[in-house]
Amino acid sequence: MAMASAAITQDEKPNYLNADYGIKSWLLTTDHKRIALLYLISITMFFFLGGFFAMLIRLELLTPAGDLVTSDTYNKLFTMHGIVMVFLFLIPAVPTVLGNFLVPMMIGAKDLAFPKLNLASWYVYILGGCWVLYAIITGGVDTGWTFYTPYSTTFSNTNVVAAAVGIFIAGFSSIFTGINFIVTIHRMRAPGLTWRRLPLFIWSNYATSVIMVLGTPVLAITLLLVAAERLFHLGIFNAQLGGDPLLFQHLFWFYSHPAVYIMILPGMGVISEVVTCFSRKRVFGYDFVALASICIAVLGFLVWAHHMFVAGISVYAAMVFSLLTFFVAIPSAVKVFNWIATMYQGSISFETPMLYAFGFIGLFTMGGMTGLFLGSLGIDVHVHDTYFVVAHFHYVMVGGMVMAYMCGLHFWWPKITGKMYPEGWAKLSALLTFVGFNLTFFPQFILGYMGMPRRYHAYPPEFQVLNVLSTAGASVLAVGYVLPMIYFVWSLRYGQDAGPNPWRAAGLEWMTSSPPPTSNFETTPVVTWEAYNYDEIDKQQEVPVAS
Amino acid sequence: MEQQKETATLGMWLFLVTEVMFFGGMFCAYLIYRMDYYTAWVAGSERMNIYLGTTNTAVLICSSLTMVLAVHFAKLGNRKATAIFLVLTILLGLGFLGIKGVEYHEHWVHHEFPGPNFHFDAPKPGAALQYSPKNVEIFFSLYFAMTGLHAIHMIIGVGLLTWLLVRNARGDFSAYYNSPIEMTGLYWHFVDVVWIYLFPLLYLIRHK
């Protein structure tokens, strides 16, 4: 007689969702799990706002002429798309939604080190996000999300200061989260949980937090100086005074390059968790994958000027940055190889999270390799500021990071809500996302190589076919994103009850009920096993076949 | 409680690291432009009021002393002494801000604030120190940006100290629990250290 679980419904067992009711219990919560859900809702809203701008961009690009919107409006569209997607979606998404929910649980803690700081982090994010919304509603910004001077400081007539202040405020949200994670991981691990027994999701979020803490302040001061130049004529970047517009670019990219690693590292952490679970195998080369996260964080700070190869830096500097850019690809490649080696001779199954993980590995690899093309000086001269760059970063950010986010949402949805999503619809969405993504962005590699510049609302007629394919792909991709919104909400009411560990996954978060109680664990766990001990897990749950 | 204090300390140090990176961006800009426009930097620095700057430095160092003493007495559970030294720190901080205000006013009336009202005399043709007044405007831009940001941090610090004063009066602190005072102390010392760097870089460049 196998485990006969009593039919206890969600409503009867006390958990963090039914622990308290009313809007105040959510808006004044210090429970990391509730804060994660607050973030989930706000981030989803900003994702669709950014997607709305993308839709307008792709609609304009259906025809070669600039006929849907004026060029000024088009400049605002791609700027707002970039600002919303980068600062209000990609940077926070996995750390604040999945990280906030899971980091304490994965280390056996009751909450993060600074629960009130965690809530403050969300409020600061909302304040920054609303400030950016204000900038959008009152006319938008047209400088590009990169705010290059002197256009942003002197010539643009749009809401540069408002947008800069909004991003500045939102940056503090990152900093608070980063501080919280670092201190939590250092100080609050359960007894027996040594560093080398930690799930790789923790290592990834730790490395991400280090980057957040070191890099975000530099963006903060850079944006502040742009605002100061506009408001108070403190002309630090003003060429008429002898100021250097390139100084802005150096300061800006010093944050914004590590920022892309803030975006991707947590996603990689998700993939490590999912690939091991659905291969029923411990990760290949745990130490190397953990070390790779740290190396990406460190090396990521050394390559910023590869965004500036044709901006007027010296050839010798460019060569150094190109070489360093090649180095930073190595730890990412190590991770990809180790995931694949994990799958080798594993017992692979194709549930939705694993489908997204496969998508991630393929698309991130393509994006990463095209990053190497861009890091090669000769090629970059040809494709810089073309759609090749746009395709590259969308491959790593959307094909990589957003897929990893969807992967993680599906994998941990049963834990977060206690419900299973409908697997058929989920698989369909994953497929639509993959097909739609490739149809959207692969043509852009070709367009860029053929010379179509980025940030242009009109283009030569010979580029139209590829642009139409791209827009068609974007429509499919949109469906792939809208469907999960629908079925996730549906599952809250009608989804199958999940139980504590529907995936038979390793990890402390699966050893408590779904949804978890407010204090996460009935008693603090004591850890005596290695991470990803799937051979032990599968042995324990072998049920002898009745003869 | 010990674990909580260690945790809070690690958190505060991490925050101070972010502050280093924050100010660091401007120090970086300062260093680069100083290399390019050294003579303009000298010309700008010679317009700084070295007496007020030195006084301010002394004021801030004293305020760090009073802050240390506030933390010390908080750890002993001596509420009254803690209050006295918190008040002294606040007063010294306000004194710093007042002197800074005087300096800013002086610069303003001498047309040394960047923007349309900026005016800096060009050097005479045979003079030893040759510079471009435009570059001096960048010096002043950095001066106001760096000391301005520093002053904002001081104001925040004074605000935090006032809040600590209120909590201390309410009896929130004891020999057992006083980490907010210690953490604010760390912040205050950091703001002091930033000034220690700013002062020589802005006030003490003199023509060789």
**If you average pLDDT over residues B113-142, what whole number do you get?**
94
Nearest to B18 among A180, A213, A254 (CB): A213
CA of B116: which chain A residue's CA is closest?
A233
- The candidate with the shortest Cα–Cα distance to B96, out of B66, B73, B139, B118, is B66
Cβ of A235 within 8 Å of Cβ of B114? The answer is yes
Cβ of B15 within 8 Å of Cβ of A228? The answer is no
Tell me: the pLDDT tens digits for A54-68? 999 999 999 999 899
* CA A2/CA A488 separation, integer angstroms: 31
Look over chain B and give the mean of its residue pLDDT values, rounded to a whole number: 95
Q: Is the ipTM of this complex over 0.95?
A: no
Cβ of B138 within 8 Å of Cβ of A247? The answer is no
pLDDT reported for residue B23: 97
How confident is residue A541, by pLDDT bands cut at 50, 70 and 90? Answer: low
How confident is residue A546, by pLDDT bands cut at 50, 70 and 90? Answer: very low
Looking at residue A15, its amino acid is N
Chain A residues within an 8 Å CB radius of B31: none
Q: What is the pTM of this model?
A: 0.94
Chain B residues within an 8 Å CB radius of A232: 114-115, 144
**Least Cα separation, residue A221 to chain B (angstroms):** 6
Which of B23, B112, B141 is the best mutation test for A, with the most CBs of A within 10 A?
A: B141
Cβ of A225 within 8 Å of Cβ of B22? The answer is no
Q: CA dihedral defined by B176, B178, B182, B188, rounded to 10 degrees?
A: -170
**Least Cα separation, residue A522 to chain B (angstroms):** 22
How confident is residue A13, by pLDDT bands cut at 50, 70 and 90? Answer: confident
**If you average pLDDT over residues B149-158, what whole number do you get?**
97
Tell me: the pLDDT tens digits for B47-60? 999 999 999 999 99
Domain holding B121, by residue range, is: 2-203
Cβ of A217 within 8 Å of Cβ of B24? The answer is yes
A544 CB burial (10 A radius; 0-12, 13-18, 19+): exposed
Cβ of B17 within 8 Å of Cβ of A213? The answer is yes
CA of A184: which chain B residue's CA is closest?
B7
Can you state the percent helix, strand and coil of chain B, rounding each to 5? 80, 0, 20
How confident is residue A547, by pLDDT bands cut at 50, 70 and 90? Answer: very low
Tell me: the pLDDT tens digits for A117-132? 999 999 999 999 999 9
Cβ of A214 within 8 Å of Cβ of B6? The answer is no
Q: What angle do CA A348, A353, A355 make, to 5 degrees?
A: 65
Nearest to B115 among A217, A225, A232 (CB): A232
**Least Cα separation, residue B65 to chain A (angstroms):** 28
The pLDDT of residue A543 is above 60: no
In a domain, B36, yes or no: yes
pLDDT reported for residue A7: 43
CA of B14: which chain A residue's CA is closest?
A179
Contact between A142 and A158 under an 8 Å Cβ cutoff? The reply is yes
How confident is residue A2, by pLDDT bands cut at 50, 70 and 90? Answer: very low
Nearest to B14 among A179, A215, A236 (CB): A179
**CATH code of B82's domain:** 1.20.120.80
In sequence order, what are the beta bridge partners of B87? Answer: none
pLDDT reported for residue A181: 97
CA of A221: which chain B residue's CA is closest?
B22
| Residue A385 backbone class (left: φ over 0; alpha: ψ -120 to 50; beta: rest) | left
Q: What angle do CA A82, A84, A89 make, to 5 degrees?
A: 110
- The candidate with the shortest Cα–Cα distance to A318, out of A269, A397, A381, is A381
Kindly list the distances between the CA atom of residue A290 and the CA atoms of A98, A286, A332, B14, in Å, as whole numbers in the listed order. 19, 6, 11, 22
Cβ of A214 within 8 Å of Cβ of B32? The answer is no
Chain B residues within an 8 Å CB radius of A187: 3, 6-7, 10
Which domains does chain A carry?
A: 29-537 (1.20.210.10)
Cβ of B11 within 8 Å of Cβ of A224? The answer is no
How confident is residue A164, by pLDDT bands cut at 50, 70 and 90? Answer: very high
How confident is residue A8, by pLDDT bands cut at 50, 70 and 90? Answer: very low
Contact between B70 and B82 under an 8 Å Cβ cutoff? The reply is yes
**Least Cα separation, residue B19 to chain A (angstroms):** 7
How confident is residue A46, by pLDDT bands cut at 50, 70 and 90? Answer: very high
Which of A107, A187, A188, A234 is the best mutation test for B, with the most CBs of B within 10 A?
A: A234
Nearest to B10 among A187, A234, A242 (CB): A187
Interface contacts (A, B; CB < 8 Å):
108
CA of B16: which chain A residue's CA is closest?
A213
**If you average pLDDT over residues A437-456, what whole number do you get?**
97
Nearest to B142 among A213, A236, A242 (CB): A236
- The candidate with the shortest Cα–Cα distance to A294, out of A210, A212, A213, A368, is A210
- The candidate with the shortest Cα–Cα distance to A495, out of A426, A406, A418, is A418
Least confident of A6-20, A56-70, A75-89, A378-392: A6-20
**Least Cα separation, residue A321 to chain B (angstroms):** 19
CA of B37: which chain A residue's CA is closest?
A242
How confident is residue B2, by pLDDT bands cut at 50, 70 and 90? Answer: confident
**Least Cα separation, residue B115 to chain A (angstroms):** 5
Count structural domains, chain B. Answer: 1
Contact between A169 and A131 under an 8 Å Cβ cutoff? The reply is yes
Cβ of B25 within 8 Å of Cβ of A225? The answer is yes
Tell me: the pLDDT tens digits for B156-201? 999 999 999 999 999 999 999 999 999 999 999 999 999 999 999 9
How confident is residue A270, by pLDDT bands cut at 50, 70 and 90? Answer: very high
Tell me: the pLDDT tens digits for B90-126? 999 999 999 999 999 999 999 999 999 999 999 999 9
The pLDDT of residue A456 is above 60: yes
Cβ of A242 within 8 Å of Cβ of B138? The answer is yes
In a domain, B52, yes or no: yes
* CA A121/CA A16 separation, integer angstroms: 20
In a domain, B208, yes or no: no
In a domain, B39, yes or no: yes
pLDDT reported for residue A542: 58
